[in-house]
Structure 1
Amino acid sequence: MFRHLFITFVLLFGCVWPVAAQEKQVPQSKVQIDLSFAPVVKSAAPSVVNVYAIKIAAQRQSVFNDPFFDRFFGQDSPFFEQRPRKSQSLGSGVIVDRSGIILTNHHVVEGAQDIRISLADGQEFHTELVLADEKTDLAVLKVKNPPADGFVELPFATDESLEVGDLVLAIGNPFGVGQTVTSGIVSALARTGVGVSDFQFFIQTDAAINPGNSGGALVNMRGELVGINTAIYSRSGGSNGIGFAIPSSMAKFIATAGINGGEIVRPWLGARLQAVSSDLAAGLLLGPPRGALITDVYPGGPAEIAGLQSGDVILEVDGRRIEDPGAFEYRFSTQPIGDQVQLYVARGGDAIEINLPLIPLDASLDGDQLMLQQAGRFSGAYVADIGPAAIEEFGLPYNFSGVIIKALADNSPAQRLGLREGDIILALNGTEIRDVRQLEKIVQQRVNSWRLTVRRGNQVINSFVSG
């Protein structure tokens, strides 16, 4: 009877010992879910590194190292001296080129004087920072002395076929415990409002992402890089099943810039956008509210050259659906300079196609720049006309005119006056300032006092100072 049961078991379930010898495969159906992710991990894990960012800051410490003296004399006394204080942040990175080009998060390496990486097998290398882009929260490192045979690189996903529900793996170094792999699914795509970077367009996943995972890899079941893990949504600081990754198309754009010399050149639109509400959609003869509504166009900018107008709604970029301005900014900013993109636009109830040239913002359009000298209280300020670059950076009206402070000489009269880099001088003694040449003439006047109107961030500050 026992023999009969054994034969029946083998016929129904197959022999148990050959299964262990079979080569593992990526799960491709529910029936195969008991198989292993190990093949994907084996191909991707060697390309994921630990990143050690060492920061050294000066700190005043008592020479006596005694709390009584610290409280009695205070830190301004001669009994205190500057001593270096070393701190270290820990994150992850991804090798994206055999020569030793590594992608990580900007916040992992920000302010670091020494950045090292270690491979999964324990090898350690010194790196140099070749590109840091706070706008995308991405940075590019390069190994200083790579081995002759190079590194194992992780390929970027070749298409944007990622869908909600797809299986993904997150690989990194959470809490500094060592390389760790977690699995999950894509919970959402094109997620906005995360507040991690200027380009709000993230992959959301429930694969466990914890502190230390930042800069690590999010890979698909083909072992391709689909995202750079960058943030978690958690009140406790640990994974609650909501993590975010920067899509591979943005990561590849930054990596390419790093490989090509470290300069990021993004295309310039020359137009202002806003989201489409239900009321606006009805007034613009649209269906469901979606797209990016153009509210203003810069004269002579790429948008005007292409024929875009205020009131147009951009619905697609190169055939990819646009839900909101954030989605457009992401699609547009990752396009290569020198080409063009095809826009599908709604205008007055009609649908039209527009080819938009991909050209950078020309710095020569910013006008004059000069250092104010022999200018009394304003000497030592390096000022420039407000041009397209400043208008875009500070969100100013396209017809705005004024002068921006680009830099201040150390301990100069302008610095002691309280002026700051980025201040926009709007008026002096009631006279509106239009350009640097006008400012240069006015500040050389001999007056008893100055009434200064400055825009600082979103504030307009009025102050009186002696001449």
Structure 2
Amino acid sequence: MKVKIFAVLALASALVLTPTQASIPFFSQKNETPTLAPMLEEVTPAVVNISVKGKREVRQRIPDMFRFFFGPGGPREQVQERPFQGLGSGVIIDAKEGYVVTNNHVIDGATEILVTLKDGRQFDATVIGTDNRSDIALLKIKDGEDLTEITIGRSADLRVGDFVVAIGNPFGLGQTVTSGIVSALGRSGLGIEEIENFIQTDAAINSGNSGGALVTLNGELIGINTAILGPNGGNIGIGFAIPSDMMKNLVAQLVEFGEVRRGVLGVRGNDLTHDIAKALDLKANQGAFIAEVIADGAADRAGLKSGDVITAVNGEPIRTFADLGARVGTIGAGKELTLTVLRDGKERKFKVTLSAEEQAVSAASIHPAFNGVTLAPDEQGGLKVTEIEAGSVAERYGIRKNDVILAVNRSPVNSVSELRESLSDAGSVIALNIRRGQSQIYLVLRGG
């Protein structure tokens, strides 16, 4: 405990020595005792508690021994609606409009949403729009008065080691503040959300903190607390927040359209590794290596080529291919962006207007085996199963929601038209190469 106290005092001394740093609201006005209180007094009224009620479908498989009660062709599952309650956090980003940002998983399926302010006032809220792929939701407080909004900062300016503060409602205790540092940036591939570009922090985040604020010592919002990595849901100092820049892009679309109209770049690739950089004689250590440019896509029309390495989007560095996907995936269709690209050892810039993402379509008309399946192009290639009907032919074959179909009988498929063509050429056996989580599997179906 003494070590922590000494560390804080040492930090205080360092801040006092620098006029610019001393302007941070880190000290009390009475005796300059190190404290975050002045900043928190301004910021915490903008962080709210969210309680929800609703009903969710619960599916329970019916044992085969009991199915005879329902006769031939009886249901394989029993579906029931059960009430649920939940708690989370949110952040007021627009006091005039009453807009509150939170996580989609906090309000998913809710029919009643109650927002509680720090001063104890309570308001009903409605959903403006959600994006389950990035886990962002936008709410509107009904008849809210004298609300306090938070200042939104630029998460692109963050550095590893910056001090941050997490504010939320852990375990329903009420508003709670914890502190830490930025442990890492651009975390992806965790399997928490479909689109990931997380800020990692060691500020304590627990159940109920979801949707709360991650702020700088200046009180600027730079992240929406979303998830933790820890056994049994307990905090072990590894928490993740959605960057504010990413959140702002998504919220702007939710306000304008009520949904996210995601843009698509039209490239496939992977991280720029040391081996790739050495083989191509590239003077770069990070970036998104383009292995393939989709014909007539946004990147193709802008002049990008396979072998290019994207190192920045709108001047902000790109570390990995997943980082690129997260940046592009949160910018709306039709938006223009500037890509910094390494080609033949030289840096070039390209202006790209993003294409509109293909919408999900029912696959029932493509082949009888896909009856009950809804597919959509996946950002990393292939076709993703976005929905599957319980008891359908496809489910009995073993196809699951969120599976990504990569190939049919070894022929790659990246669009519905390619899937239809591959299936029409298939014989009596259809072998689907599927990406499921971090693994690849094969499912064998009977042909037409």
| TM-score, normalisation: structure 2 | 0.74
Select 2:381's aligned residue among 391, 395, 418: 395
Given the alignment of the two structures, is residue 256 of structure 1 paired with residue 256 of structure 2, yes or no?
A: no
User: How far does the alpha carbon of each residue in 1:198-235 deviate from its partner, in whole angstroms, 9 at most, with x for none?
Assistant: 33322222221111111100112222211001122222
8 Å contact kept, 1:117–1:127: yes
1:306 deviation in Å?
0.9
For residues 83 and 266 of structure 1, the distance between their equivalents in structure 2, rounded to whole angstroms, comes to 34
Alignment partner, residue 4 of structure 2:
none
1:379 deviation in Å?
11
User: How far does the alpha carbon of each residue in 1:38-71 deviate from its partner, in whole angstroms, 9 at most, with x for none?
Assistant: 222122111111112324347799xxxxxxxxxx
For residues 94 and 177 of structure 1, the distance between their equivalents in structure 2, rounded to whole angstroms, comes to 17
Matching residue's letter, 1:35? P
Alignment partner, residue 173 of structure 1:
169
Structure 1's consecutive aligned runs of 4 or more residues displaced over 4 angstroms after TM superposition are: 57-61, 73-78, 81-84, 368-372, 377-384, 404-427, 433-442
What pairs with 1:211-290 in structure 2 (closer than 5 Å)?
211-290=207-286
8 Å contact kept, 2:155–2:222: no
Alpha-carbon spacing, 1:414–1:244, altered in 2? closer, same or farther (3 Å): closer
Alpha-carbon spacing, 1:310–1:53, altered in 2? closer, same or farther (3 Å): same
Select 1:298's aligned residue among 287, 290, 294: 294
8 Å contact kept, 2:408–2:423: no
Matching residue's letter, 1:228? I
Unpaired segments ≥5 residues, structure 1: 1-23, 62-72, 398-403, 428-432, 443-449
Alignment partner, residue 359 of structure 1:
355
Alignment partner, residue 110 of structure 2:
112
Aligned length: 399
Select 1:91's aligned residue among 71, 88, 97: 88
User: How far does the alpha carbon of each residue in 1:299-350 deviate from its partner, in whole angstroms, 9 at most, with x for none?
Assistant: 1111111111111111222222222112222333344544422222222223
Matching residue's letter, 2:85? Q
Given the alignment of the two structures, is residue 35 of structure 1 paired with residue 34 of structure 2, yes or no?
A: yes
Alignment partner, residue 134 of structure 1:
132
Alpha-carbon spacing, 1:104–1:369, altered in 2? closer, same or farther (3 Å): closer
What pairs with 1:432-447 in structure 2 (closer than 5 Å)?
none
Alignment partner, residue 401 of structure 1:
none
Alignment partner, residue 333 of structure 1:
329
Q: Which secondary structure state, in structure 1, belongs to the residue aligned with residue 129 of structure 2? A: strand
For residues 24 and 363 of structure 2, the distance between their equivalents in structure 1, rounded to whole angstroms, comes to 65
For residues 266 and 149 of structure 2, the distance between their equivalents in structure 1, rounded to whole angstroms, comes to 37
Matching residue's letter, 1:126? D
Alignment partner, residue 3 of structure 2:
none
Alignment partner, residue 99 of structure 2:
101
8 Å contact kept, 2:166–2:179: yes
Select 1:146's aligned residue among 143, 147, 150: 143
Given the alignment of the two structures, is residue 455 of structure 1 paired with residue 437 of structure 2, yes or no?
A: no
The range that moved more, 177-186 or 254-263, is 254-263
Matching residue's letter, 2:129? L
8 Å contact kept, 2:153–2:244: yes
Matching residue's letter, 1:181? V
Q: Give 1 or 2 for the bigger CA radius of gyration.
A: 1
8 Å contact kept, 1:48–1:92: yes
Identity of aligned residues (%): 37
What pairs with 1:181-200 in structure 2 (closer than 5 Å)?
181-200=177-196
For residues 111 and 379 of structure 1, the distance between their equivalents in structure 2, rounded to whole angstroms, comes to 30
Unpaired segments ≥5 residues, structure 2: 1-22, 71-77, 410-415, 436-440
